[in-house]
Copies of this chain bind each other. A is one copy, B any other.
Amino acid sequence: MAEQKLPTRAEDFSEWYNQLVLKAELADYAPVRGCMIVRPYGWSLWENIQQALDKRFKATGHLNAAFPLLIPQSFIEKEQSHVAGFSPELAVVTIGGGEKLEEPLVIRPTSETIIGHAYAKWIQSYRDLPVLINQWNSVVRWELRTKLFLRTLEFFWQEGHTAHATLEEAEAETRQMLDIYTDFAVNEAAVPVIPGRKSASERFAGADQTYSIEAMMGDGKALQSGTSHNLGQNFAKAFGIRYLDREGVLQFCWTTSWGLSTRFIGAIIMVHGDDQGLILPPRLAPTQAVFVPIFKTDEEKAVVLDAARKASAALVAAGIRVRTDERDGVSPGFKFNDWEMRGVPLRIEIGPKDVAKGTVVLARRDKPGKEGKSFVPQEGLAAVVAKTLEEIQKALLDRARAFRDAHTREPKSFEEFQAAVETGFALAFWCGSADCEAKIKDKTKATMRCIPLEQEGGAGVCVLCGQPATDKGIFGRAY
């Protein structure tokens, strides 16, 4: 029964986010600085994300496995870029079973090294390829500035790791997984994302090529929401992952890795949420519809609850994730606010008059007030609810896409560029030099999010230096 009011997004977007995460009971702070407890409501959302991704991974031939969380510190040092990228962020175990360890162990910050070690042992011949493995786990990176879901010391994710006979196959896998992330984001989370290629400076430590999906949050900032890496032969050479080809010649494998984390929950919050709280896309919502019974007397209560339970049972039978809020001692108004804070896509109100008329009131979370309300018959309710949930799913995607497009500009000058990244994205030609990229970041705090895979074609000049450029990049300030 805590005070449920959030600061508005316009007032303080960051504080709106922090309070929403706590008040919707998605997550909580842990006793260790920067660590996170994902509460049941947040974890149910993550389970739905997991299922949506996992079925796509399995449909493309991947299997899950589990690798240990403890890695010998020396492993991290075997791949040159990898050690540079991850060494400053490690959590190190120096004592085990009461004794100082001979070699310190690190808690995995990511698992390329230990999986590379295993693949070197398992892979002998071209017959063993490709190896297509994923794991659902958590990793630890010693971050200094943390924020629930967006950046925490420990976070939950999946990391896929594959090994292939050729560069072409590895690149095809890298792109396939990027496509899967894009499909998931757009069609399950209603989050429109831009799939593209990272610049060299933003690549994963140890990758030849990194691709990402980038989304625009409600404050116009960018969130990298999933990444897919072509690791070339870097880890194969560091760990000796080799195979005998059809001609009997020993070759190094080509490997990939790709990951999507609980950070994506932050994207869902910041893309869809409004000043009343969370708005969840129906396909991922733990609860898709909630019945709120309305009554004054005990007689009314008996009649209304009976009708609500019957209607709810029909929805459950139709595969809709529904619950009935039967809490005593709290008003319907309190319940409305509570389920709005938690972002349940559809509220179903039922009172004595509704029972008499054989109707209910549907109230869409994405359309506050009268606009989102409709009176529908109890008979055939499941079909109407299912259809309404699909409409909400589509409306959320359309709205997010319209918002992003309205906040994306194609600047004609660097002045326009600077103005664009104040409020959203700039889509601009870039010469490709790290120097221009660094200067842009320095002057505007905006980074090159990605070079979108879809390009209009044609050529132009770099928005900063004026040199010829062939590709446009998406620039924005990022989380």
Contacts and interface: CB of A to CB of B under 8 A. Distances in A.
A110 to B, nearest CB: 15
A66 B94 contact: no
A94 B91 CA distance: 8
Contacts of A244: none
A139 to B, nearest CB: 10
B68 A37 contact: yes
Contacts of A95: 90-92, 94, 104
B91 A96 contact: yes
B36 A64 contact: no
Interface string A35-67: 111111011101100000000000000011111
Contacts of A118: 28, 30, 37
Nearest to A28: B118
Secondary structure call for the A interface: mixed
Contacts of A30: 67-68, 70, 114, 118
A35 B105 CA distance: 12
Pick from A35, A89, A91, A154 the residue with the most CB of B within 10 Å: A91
A40 B133 contact: yes
Given A32-B105, A97-B142, A65 B38 contact: yes
Given A91-B93, A96-B142, A44 B63 contact: yes
Contact of A64 (B47, B96, B140): B47
Nearest to A75: B31
A69 B133 contact: no
Chain A: number of interface residues, binned into ranges: 35 or more
A138 interface: yes
B138 A31 contact: no
B37 A66 contact: yes
A65 B40 contact: yes
A68 B114 contact: no
Contacts of A39: 65
A37 B92 CA distance: 20
A96 B33 CA distance: 11
A121 interface: yes
A66 B43 contact: yes
A313 to B, nearest CB: 16
A8 to B, nearest CB: 27
A69 B140 contact: yes
Contacts of A94: 92-95
Contact of A117 (B31, B68, B72): B31
Given A117-B31, A140-B70, A65 B37 contact: yes
Contact of A69 (B43, B117, B154): B154
A140 B96 CA distance: 10
A476 B479 CA distance: 58
B93 A97 contact: no
A71 B37 CA distance: 12
Contacts of A121: 28
B92 A64 contact: no
A98 interface: yes
A439 B104 CA distance: 41
Interface string A73-99: 001000000000001111111111110
Contacts of A20: none
A236 interface: no
Interface of A: 28, 30-32, 35-40, 42-44, 46-47, 63-72, 75, 87-98, 104-105, 107, 114, 117-118, 121-122, 127, 133, 138, 140, 142, 144, 153-154, 156, 329
Given A88-B97, A88-B98, 18 more contacts: A28-B118, A28-B122, A30-B68, A31-B72, A31-B75, A31-B114, A31-B117, A32-B105, A35-B70, A37-B66, A43-B64, A43-B66, A89-B97, A91-B93, A91-B96, A91-B97, A98-B142, A127-B329
20 contacts: A28-B118, A30-B67, A30-B68, A31-B72, A32-B70, A36-B68, A43-B63, A43-B64, A44-B63, A68-B154, A69-B107, A69-B138, A89-B97, A90-B97, A91-B93, A92-B93, A92-B95, A94-B94, A94-B95, A127-B329
